[in-house]
Chains A and B, each alone.
Chain A
Amino acid sequence: MVILYFLIAVIILIFLVSIGIYNSLVRLRNRVKNSWSQIDVQLKRRHDLIPNLVETAKGYMKHERETFTTITEARSKAMGAQTVGEKAKAEGALNGAISKFFLVVENYPDLKANQNFLAVQEELTSTENKIAFSRQNYNDQVLFFNNKIQMFPSNIVAGMFNFKENEFFEIEDATERAVPKVDFS
């Protein structure tokens, strides 16, 4: 009889602990989702800013058609990307196009002094920083979540309810990589 009670108590305890772990896993997963949506917001903002940039610069840079097409194409490609991997790649290309664009701008002092252009440039710089910081935040959250999934005892609950590890969001260009690279082997 005592053994029975003891067993029941143990089962209830395990059940309660599992509920706690399950809830914390859900919370972490939602945080990951939320920080991913933050990146998305900023990426979309950047896509919206690029036409503005092109519009302001067009009057000054009449002979740079190639630069304009590169940046516009990179933008539409980035807007079409679907998976995390694809997105990372396309956004990396867009990054490259934008920095090339600003290198070209260096040759146009009139444009650099234009108030409207400066405002767009500040917005774009800020959006790029926001992308970098939200990526930083997303990767932190993914790291927390993946650690939880792999560690005992939460890995058992994670296995039962099919929680999957998330992908890190890393930019293709190696010099651009400012996030911790974690080796799971």
Chain B
Amino acid sequence: MWELINSNKQKSIGLFIIMGICLLLLGSVIGNFYAGDSGWVIGLIIALIIWIIMSLVSFFSGDSIILAISKAKEVTPNVHPQLFNVVEEMKIASNLPKMPRIYIIPDTAPNAFATGRNPEKSSIAVTAGLLSQLNRDELQGVIAHETAHILNRDILFMTFSGVLLGSIVFLSHIFLRSMWFSGGGSRFRSKSSSKSSGQLQMIMLVASLVLAILAPIMARLLYFAISRKREYLADATAIRLTRYPEGLASALEKISQTDIRLASANKATAALYIANPLNKKGSRLSNLTNTHPPIDERIRILRSISKGANYINYQNAYNRVKGNQGLIPNIIPPSGISDPSNILLKKKTKAESRKDISKTHRDVGDLIRAVDKYFFIQCVCGLKIKIPPDFKKSTLHCPRCDRFWKVPAVELSAFRGIIGDKSLKKTISSIEAHNMEPFVYERKGSGWETFNCSCGDVKQISPTFSKSQFVCSKCGRKITIKKKEQTSDE
């Protein structure tokens, strides 16, 4: 296990250096092109500075940047207790030193990712859609996959190399654009050079052009290849943690069946997710520019694991599915395969009946509101009343059964500030019906009428107003309207 992590770390550092050299080379070529003979030093230094700043930024706040881009919000256990339980289970299974912080992305597309610096400082983000669509075993599979990314030190690597890749692409893009518009650098504008050095210049120009075009492509391909391999490895580690391949397999199946696109995902963050958030349903092409292996292939590999949960079993299943001709022959580093111990799989649990679709939709809505710090009160008539965080009134009217509820102000503010408040469940059950003395207003005629509620708020009723009761929007008091005509007619 430890050897595996170490070999992974070394590879990350290797890739990091290769991409860094790519960036430096690009920088020096651009410098040379613009500033003449000694320009490459300036270019190199600028590229180095960019690299250092980018690395520092991504080391210290890469995770919070990514979480902010993805619109993920940190949540407390009462928003989704099961999610916290499942993450804690995986933390125990993988012997992580600290519990990852948990974020929910308020989006209906099912997906998840992990980010962070190291196992001591890591975060897991899942979408609301994922939570409402998956059952417990499937959720466990997904969380195990994310924990595997943390455990295998993929999180920092992916952030780092993503940032590096971004700077390479950015630099070469600027260079090529400026070439296009300016039609050449300083060397072409100065015509003092002799003929022989002119030829050299032409060669230099072509070389720098080729490099500027190739560097981002090569860096990208390398990044994608490694990213794909890491996905397989994380699947393998997830199985070793949960010992239950079917959970992850059916979770992936559900994720692949959705046709909702994750709104907050973009090209830069796509590689982080458990399944490519940008791919549409049914795209099964396995090409060089994919950050993820084709999802149905991953499912097939997982489903063909039958003997045990160790790495060697995953590699065997991979070979069986790919028929030994996959792009990447060995997805598991040798140290993982050499572990001979046979780890038994968990027994399959019986398949759960599919969730009612409308219920799933309601779950997503509730979950997104919970993430946005809405407060829920269950009325005795069964209606779940959702109170927005900026709700100011002290009473609440149930639109279905006309009961009045006192809003527990203290608990509400505690709920908004809080971390893991246990008294919350108690308060919800102890809220009693609170009836303020209703205000009675007698209609004078049948036209527009204006009056004051006993709280002082001005009310107006139109000629067509036919309800006998309504609620004061300021104090929450019931207002009863008595109709004059009826009494006078009788």
Contacts and interface: CB of A to CB of B under 8 A. Distances in A.
A178 B92 contact: no
Given A122-B82, A123-B85, A125-B136, A180 B341 contact: yes
B243 A137 contact: no
Interface stretch (B342-350, B352-360, B399-407): B342-350
Contacts of B1: 140
A136 B241 CA distance: 9
B88 interface: yes
A103 interface: no
A130 B341 contact: no
Interface size class of A (residues with CB under 8 A): 20 to 34
Contact of A178 (B88, B89, B140, B346): B346
B93 A137 contact: yes
A95 interface: no
A178 B90 CA distance: 16
Contacts of B89: 126, 129-130, 133
A129 B341 CA distance: 22
A182 interface: yes
Interface size class of B (residues with CB under 8 A): 20 to 34
Contacts of B6: none
A122 B81 contact: yes
A119 interface: yes
Q: Is the interface of A mostly helix, strand, loop or mixed?
A: helix
Interface in B221-280: 241, 243
Chain B CB count within 10 A is highest, among A129, A130, A182, for A129
B473 interface: no
Chain A CB count within 10 A is highest, among B86, B90, B95, B241, for B95
A122 B95 contact: no
Contact of B92 (A122, A125, A134): A134
A130 to B, nearest CB: 5
A38 B88 CA distance: 12
Interface in A131-157: 133-134, 136-137, 140, 143
B92 A130 contact: yes
B86 A38 contact: no
Nearest to A134: B92
Given A119-B81, A122-B81, A178-B346, A133 B93 contact: yes
A122 B85 contact: yes
Interface in B52-109: 81-82, 85-86, 88-90, 92-93, 95
Contacts of B86: 126
B85 A126 contact: yes
A38 B347 CA distance: 25
B336 to A, nearest CB: 14
Contact of B95 (A119, A125, A137): A137
Interface in A100-123: 119, 122-123
A177 interface: yes
Chain B CB count within 10 A is highest, among A133, A143, A177, for A133
A185 interface: no
B95 A177 contact: no
A140 B343 CA distance: 11
Contacts of A119: 81, 425
Interface in B342-390: 342-347
B344 A126 contact: no
Interface of B: 1, 81-82, 85-86, 88-90, 92-93, 95, 136, 140, 241, 243, 341-347, 425
Given A133-B241, A178-B243, 4 more contacts: A119-B81, A125-B136, A130-B92, A137-B92
9 contacts: A123-B85, A129-B85, A129-B140, A130-B88, A134-B93, A137-B95, A180-B341, A180-B342, A182-B341
